Amino acid sequence: MAEAQPAAAIEAVENGLAAQGYIASRQIATAVYLSQEIEKPILVEGPAGVGKTELAKAIAAWRGMKMIRLQCYEGLDEAKALYEWKYAKQLLYTQILKDKLGEVLGGAQTLHAALDQLHTFGDVFFSKEFVEPRPLLQALEQPAGCVLLIDEIDKSDAEFESLLLEILSDFQVSIPELGTVSAIAPPTVILTSNSERDLGDALKRRCLHLHIGFPEQKLEERIVESRVPGISQSLRRQMVGFIHEIRTLDLKKLPSVSETIDWARVLVLLQATELDHEIVKDTLNVLLKYEADIEAAQPQLTTFIAKASRQNVFG
């Protein structure tokens, strides 16, 4: 069914995400559709605040699946990401074993016989009971499948990347003491990256590569519409137009979609009906996060506001 009508299926993805308040571009919807079809993780790259993490949340909400999130940072290792042994319980176990040792060995006469008996005794020291599953293992163990979000993979070390390779390509992990754990239902994996460092080719090869940039004006208006319903249409168009002008400047940190939404909320809160110089100046710190950026934008404000308003008249 899906094979016959890929275009319709992609549109269904778009609508499904939209119902969760995530307005996806065509390319994003295609990526989500494909990742489902050929069971590949999606690697999402793009500047901060364009909705990379939000995408995973929206997919989880749309499909009604649990979302498991793994936030990456420098020094993250397998003990925190994959699994860990419950050391304290293992200690207790050995103590219990010590107490029960007499029963287990059951009156073996020689040392050799005692050892033989010990070997036949089932060892649970390294067993499933003593494994503390961390996000990656948890994701594999979800019977109904889940959305696994590996957030800001670029912040982790290169070694951690290699750890991910197995789970990304085969949806399984190997625990030396237990063997291989395969996914009950393959999870939908989303990796996000701010391109702080270049990821390895091996990792990139296993993923669909999706770049989310700043959205086009029409799309951004729709995003604001869905996120901040209280804002009037004319103001929405003006402010989005204004932000697109701001993005043409050479700034340290360009305002992204999250800033647009914040600003829209602020404008609604201040009950602004249209952009004027005064209100833009007062609320510019919502959009721009560096003093130097605000200073750089300051002289251009009037022209930008005029341009944005003009657009409103003719657009």
Partner 1 sequence: MRENLHRFFRAARGAGVRVSPAESIDAMRAVSRVGFTDRGVLRDTFLLTLAKSQDEKRALGECFDLFFSQPEPAERGEESKYDDAERAESNASSDSPGEASAGDQAENLGPLAQMLLTQDRNAISAAIANASGAASLSNIRYFTQRGIFSGRVLEAMGIQRLRDDLDNLTPTNPALAERLQAALDGLRDTVRETVSQALLLYGREETENLRNEILRNAPLARIEPRQVEQMRALIRQIARRLRERYSKPRKRQRRGHLDVRRTLRRNAAWGGVPFLTAWKRKHRDRPKIVALCDVSGSVARVSDFFLLLIHSLHEVVDDVRSFAFSGHLIEVSDILEEKSLEAAMAEIMSKVGFGSSDYGNSLADFEKSWMDTITPQTTVIVLGDARSNNLDPRADILRRISERSKRLVWLNPEGRMAWGFGDSEMPRYATFCSVVRQCATARQLERAVSDIVATYQ
Can you tell me which residue has the tokens 């999402």?
44
> Cβ of 56: how many Cβ atoms within 10 Å?
26
Number of residues located near partner 1, criterion CB under 8 A: 28
Shortest spacing between CB 266 and partner 1, in angstroms? 31
Distance CA 258, CA 78 (A): 32
Give the long-range contacts of residues 23-26, CB within 8 A, separation 24 or more.
23/219, 23/222, 23/223, 23/226, 24/55, 24/58, 25/212, 25/215, 25/216, 25/219
Q: At what angle are helices 52-63 and 26-37 packed, to 10 degrees?
A: 60
Type of residue at 28: I
Q: Does 165 bind partner 1 (CB under 8 A)?
A: no
Beta-carbon count within 10 A of 125 CB? 12
Token representation of residue 83: 């699994």
Cβ proximity to partner 1, 6 vs 230, nearer residue? 6
Contact with partner 1 (CB under 8 A) among 197, 247, 277, 289: 197
Q: Please, which residue, 26 or 277, has the CB nearer to partner 1?
A: 26
Q: Is 6 in the site for partner 1 (CB under 8 A)?
A: yes
7 binds partner 1 (CB under 8 A): yes
Site for partner 1 contains 227 (CB under 8 A): no
- Between 85 and 121, CB nearer to partner 1: 85
Exactly one of 19, 48, 91, 96 binds partner 1 (CB under 8 A); that residue is 91
Choose the stretch contacting partner 1; rule: CB under 8 A; options: 49-57, 59-67, 83-91, 140-148.
83-91
Does 184 sit near partner 1 (CB under 8 A)?
no
198 binds partner 1 (CB under 8 A): yes
Residue 293's nearest CA partner among 260, 247, 261, 224 is: 247
Contact flag: residue 1 with partner 1 (CB under 8 A): no
> Which residues have C-beta within 8 Å of that of residue 150, sequence separation ≥ 6?
70, 72, 164, 189, 190, 191, 192
If one asks whether residue 289 binds partner 1 (CB under 8 A), the answer comes out as no
- Residue 194, classified by CB atoms within 10 Å of its CB into exposed (0-12), middle (13-18) or buried (19+), is middle
Tell which one of 60, 65, 181, 210 touches partner 1 (CB under 8 A).
210
If binding is defined by CB under 8 A, does position 252 make contact with partner 1?
no
Is 3 a binder of partner 1 (CB under 8 A)?
yes
Whole-number minimum distance, CB 205 to partner 1, in Å?
6
Which one, 116 or 295, has the nearer CB to partner 1? Answer: 295
- 192 is an interface residue for partner 1 by CB under 8 A: no
CB of 37 to partner 1, least distance (A): 5
Q: Smaller CB distance to partner 1: residue 128 or 209?
A: 209
The beta-carbon contacts of 24-29 under 8 Å, at least 24 apart in sequence, are 24/55, 24/58, 25/212, 25/215, 25/216, 25/219, 27/210, 28/55, 28/210, 28/212
Residue ranges in contact with partner 1 by CB under 8 A: 2-3, 6-7, 10, 26-27, 30-31, 34, 37-38, 40, 45, 87-88, 91, 157-158, 197-198, 201, 204-205, 208-211
